[in-house]
Structure 1
Amino acid sequence: MTTPVKIESVLGMLTILLNDSNYSKWAFQFKSVLRGYKLFDHFDGTLVCPPKFVLNTETRVTKEITSTFQEWETVDLALLSLLIATLSDDAIEHVLGCKTTNEAWSTLEDRFATIFKSIINMLKIEFQNLQKGADYIDKFLSKLKSIKDQLIVVGKCVSDNDMIIVALVGLPREYVIIRTVILAQVTTISLKGFRAPLLNLELNCWSSSLYGCYVCPRD
């Protein structure tokens, strides 16, 4: 049987409070810690609640509560308290009235997984549709990296090559030659190797503009 001391030690390892913006990080930490202590089976329903009442020899239900149920309930309520301790004030509202850890966990998954999916979809759309516009190259690439980092935080892998392809799509027409050259390359280019020619072209554009030879069009 899980002891209160064991549950208290687990609580000290759970440092993230669930809110609308950090479900993936919270769930990852919570699952990792609880599985490490062999306690997550209450949450995912693997450890099914045993019969509450004793059956007599004639298989009729009595009013006597089984010891296995009492032990299971004690642990489950302690774990439910542990779960609640990792929730923000807003998140707690969604588990009010839940009587078991499995009920509470399922409720939180249903609620926050939907929000989580919406966040991922919005980040993907923003990432894929970002345009350089009037931004300098470094600012444009910084915006892309910021979205990429947010996607990685929510568990979506974005490779450097993915970022390069998206950046190429978002570049204006004066970068068409660089786009063509990079897309035609057989070997993979690094982000550093990708950034250098873009900066060189940007510098040349503004140098030409300074001397009145050429004005780099800016969308």
Structure 2
Amino acid sequence: MASSSSIKVEGLLGMVIIRLGDDNFLKWSFQIESLLQGYDLFGHFDGSLVPPPKFAILDESVTSEVTDAYRDWLRTDKSLLSFLIATLFDKALEYVIGSKTAREAWLQLSDRYATVSQSQINHRKTELQTAQKGADSIERFLLQLKHIRDKLALARVPILDVDFMITVLNGLSSEYDIIKTVLIARDLLISLKDFRAQLLAAE
């Protein structure tokens, strides 16, 4: 883990291009998680980097002396909490006021923005199942469906690659019947990358 002396909030903020608002939690959280994982710091948010013992132990007795390890951990955690706060718009900031640690603030934001109701999940499933390409390009249609799939994944409703590909094919018009027949005949045992490439070629 990076030491507290190496944590420069200004440096981390310089790499943040998205601030959290009402409708971009998925993009914002992916950005924050990827950035902090690169510095081996996301453990302060997901709980895997737990604080060391706060007080020193002498002769098997707990003293009132705060350990250097705990001080370092706390300094790093407070720096990360400050970093997180700086990536929020004012409305999102309201949900983390009073948070003592970076993890506490992260959980407050996740509870507010990532938790969705069953009705919302059903709505997104319906969106996925009934989506039609229409006049959109293949690229735009795939991106639209990926966005819905990502939102479901955030709500802990994963969609398998094969089911995603079937959804895409069901949303294509009759002009794609040949490529649909070819792909289904192969049992869709191809990667999403190859699947996309074949659709783009057919387009």
- TM value normalised by structure 2: 0.68
The alpha carbon displacement at 1:2 in A equals 2.7
How many angstroms apart in 2 are the aligned matches of 1:87 and 1:38? 22
User: Counterpart of 1:109 in 2: which secondary structure?
Assistant: helix
SS of the equivalent of 1:14 reads coil
CA 1:185–1:155 in structure 2 vs 1: closer, same or farther (change >3 Å)?
Answer: closer
Aligned to 2:14: 12
Q: Say which SS state the counterpart of residue 64 (structure 2) adopts.
A: strand
Counterpart residue number, 2:177: 182
Unmatched 5+ stretches in structure 1? 132-137, 169-177, 195-219
Q: Distance in 2 between matches of 1:35 and 1:185?
A: 40
Is 1:111 aligned to 2:116, yes or no? Answer: no
Structure 2 equivalent of residue 163 of structure 1:
168
Q: Which has the larger radius of gyration?
A: 1
* Counterpart contact for 2:46–2:103, Cα < 8 Å: yes
Q: Deviations over 1:7-60 (max 9, x none)?
A: 32111111111123111111111111111111112111111111222223241x
Give the residue type in structure 2 aligned to 1:71. Answer: D
> Are 2:7 and 1:2 aligned?
no
The aligned runs of 1:72-83 (5 Å cut-off) are 72-83=73-84
Q: Structure 1 pair 118/22, CA: closer, same or farther in 2 (3 Å)? A: farther
Seen in structure 2, the aligned counterparts of structure 1 residues 118 and 142 have a Cα distance that, compared at 3 Å, is farther
RMSD (Å) for aligned C-alpha atoms: 3.6
8 Å Cα contact 2:128-2:167 kept in structure 1: no
Alignment CA distance shift 1:119-1:15 (3 Å): farther
Identity %: 39
Q: Which amino acid aligns with 1:11?
A: L
Give, in whole Å, the separation in 1 of the partners of 2:9 and 2:89: 19
1:16-31 equivalences in 2 (<5 Å): 16-31=18-33
TM-score (norm 1): 0.64
Residue 149 in structure 1 maps to residue 117 in structure 2: no
